[in-house]
Amino acid sequence: MNYDVIIVASGKGIRANLGYNKAFYQMKDGRTVLEHSASLFNEDDECRRIIIVTGRDCMSAVKKNKKTTVVEGGEERSDSVRNGLEQVAEDYVLIHDAARPFLHQETLELLKQKVFETGAAIPGKKATDTVKIIDGDKIVKTIDRNTVFLASTPQGFRTELIKECYEKCKDISFTDEASLVESLGYPVSIVEDKYDNRKLTSEEDFIGL
């Protein structure tokens, strides 16, 4: 399955308390978080283009190769993804968080197969803790954790489908693309993710990297 990937690297890194875009944090091996997040796609012959969406002040800092296209991000994540989608040429697209540098090859392959079969799929981790629904500080319901998955990225779609969904919901912001697609009644499949495909968010997440 040939595809393009959009890597969203527009975050300010406020919760990480770095003072700069966390995607450009240099890890112990000398490569940035963004470089790690892009590495599997660089090595995958089926990935035709890597579209990196980041702030205007960071665009010159992106290390480029023949696959790389750099696009200016927007105010919200959804705006940044829209800008990236304008550059997509393949029939399938994956959308990945730059702050997830630990994606496994196995997960990527499972996801690609599921996207090709169904048109929309994401990776997710099974919940290991008991899940509670609350109202204020009171528990109102306990959910069977076997039915709960924690969504991660990359999230994959037929390009035509995700573009259609973004076009229909121009003024609505979603936390991830799956939520957008689901809101319009389209089914989204899930493949099991590895637990270490975590998103780097807070200061503690960067300790030891």
DSSP string, 141-156: EEE-GGG-EEE-S-EE
pTM: 0.95
pLDDT of 174 over the 90 cut: no
Please report the domains of the chain, with CATH numbers, ordered by start residue: 3-206 (3.90.550.10)
Label residue 75 by pLDDT band (50, 70, 90).
confident
The pLDDT confidence band at residue 172, using thresholds 50, 70 and 90, is confident
Mean pLDDT of 164-187: 92
Residue 78 near residue 168, CB atoms below 8 Å: no
pLDDT tens, 36-74?
999 999 999 999 999 999 999 999 999 999 999 999 998
- Structural contact between residues 97 and 78, judged by C-beta atoms closer than 8 angstroms: no
pLDDT band at 138 (very low <50, low <70, confident <90, very high): very high
